[in-house]
Structure 1
Amino acid sequence: MSLPLLPGRTCGGCVECCRVIPLDLPELAKPTGQLCAYCVNDAGCSVHEVRPQTCRIWFCLWRAVELSDDWRPDRSGVIVRPDGVEDGVITLYVVRPSDFLGSMDFFATVAGWIAEGVEVALSIPGPVGTYPARAVVTGWLRPAVEDADPADFLARTLRALDRLGEHDFQPDGFETRYAVV
């Protein structure tokens, strides 16, 4: 799925997708959670002009939806994934827990989505080379949303992330291969 991007919003130094997205292409393969060898930390892709099509069209929703700059994945620790949006599900891939999860911005935005009937899923990475864990948590978060209780919302979010951490992470089976020309 390709959404129109917000004008003037660029990845900048954020390279989170270059780490978390698994790739198994003829010209580029890397396990989930491994930083792409073509990626320069805090700068971006060193083969940007000839990068694979998959890399050209995949963008987190921070690039396409009106979210504050605090939501940029390298700042927030959260990648808002585009997959599932067409089915009414927003997946919050928590790369690393941060203070952002306890912010009013996070609470108000996610509570707004839930109030509008959008399903919300949380996801976390496993060890390098394994698929992430993911669960729809709308029903679990709803009581805190209905009570307008950010503290309970944060506690429920953190409990859900802890439970996801108990997941039996499955290997992705991708062998590293770099051949972009």
Structure 2
Amino acid sequence: MSLPLLPDRTCGACVECCRAIPLDLPELAKPTGELCAYCVEAAGCSVHAIRPNTCRVWFCLWRVVELSDDWRPDRSGVIVRPDGIEDGVITLYVIRPSDFLASPDFFATVAGWIAEGVEVALSIPGPVGTYPARAVVTDWLRPAVEAGDPAAFLGRVLRSLDKLAEHDFQPDGVVARYAVA
């Protein structure tokens, strides 16, 4: 899915998608959680001009939606995934817990989505080469959102992440293959 990007918003040094997103294309395959071999940490794609179409059209929602710079995945530890957005679901892929989860910005934004009727899912990575765990948590977060209680909200988010960590992570079956030319 290709969404219109916000003008003047670039990935910069963020390469989290190049690590988190699995690819299984004829010219490029990499397991979930493995940094793409073409990616230079904190710099970006070394084959940018000839990268596969999948890499050209997939962007996290930080590039698409008016979110503060604190939401950039390498800063926040959260990739706001676009998959599901057409069905009214926003997935917050927490690649690493950070202080951002306790920020007023995180609470206000997620609370706003829930108040607007958007479903919110939390997701976490498993070991390299496994699918992530994911659960829709809208109803679980709603009491803290409706009470306007950021501390209770954070507690529910952290409990959700702990519960997701107990998931039986399944292999993604992707074998690394790098042949972009």
Name the TM tier (shorter chain). Answer: over 0.9
2 CA distance for matches of 1:30 and 1:164? 23
Note the alpha carbon deviations across 1:82-132, whole angstroms, 9 max, x for none.
000000000000000000000000000000000000000000000000000
Q: Kindly state the Cα deviation for residue 20 of structure 1 after the two structures are TM-superposed.
A: 0.5
Report the CA distance between 1:34 and its aligned residue: 0.2
- The whole-number CA distance in structure 2 between the counterparts of 1:48 and 1:93 is 24
- How many angstroms apart in 1 are the aligned matches of 2:167 and 2:17? 22
Q: Which residue of structure 1 aligns with residue 16 of structure 2?
A: 16
Task: Give me the identity figure in percent.
Answer: 85
User: For residue 153 of structure 1, what is the amino acid of its counterpart?
Assistant: F
| 1:131 aligned residue | 131
Counterparts of 1:84-99 in structure 2, within 5 Å, are: 84-99=84-99
Q: Which residue of 2 aligns with 1:68?
A: 68
* 1:14-163 equivalence runs, <5 A: 14-163=14-163
Distance 1:163 1:54 in 2: 31
Q: Distance in 2 between matches of 1:51 and 1:34?
A: 17
What is the identity, as a one-letter code, of the residue corresponding to 1:173? G
Unmatched tracts of structure 1, length 5 or more: none
State the SS of the aligned residue for 1:142: helix
TM-score by length of 1: 1.00
Q: For 2:60 and 2:77, how far apart are their aligned partners in 1?
A: 12
Aligned counterparts of 2:148 and 2:3: Cα–Cα separation in 1? 31
1:56: how far off?
A: 0.3
CA–CA distance in structure 2, aligned partners of residues 38 and 2 of structure 1: 22
SS at match of 2:93: strand
What's the secondary structure of 1:79's corresponding residue? strand
Unaligned ranges ≥5, structure 2: none
Which SS does the other structure have where 2:79 is aligned? Answer: strand
Could you tell me which residue of structure 1 aligns to residue 7 of structure 2?
7
The alpha-carbon deviation at position 41 of structure 1 amounts to 0.4
User: After TM superposition, where is structure 1 displaced by more than 3 Å over at least 4 residues in a row?
Assistant: none
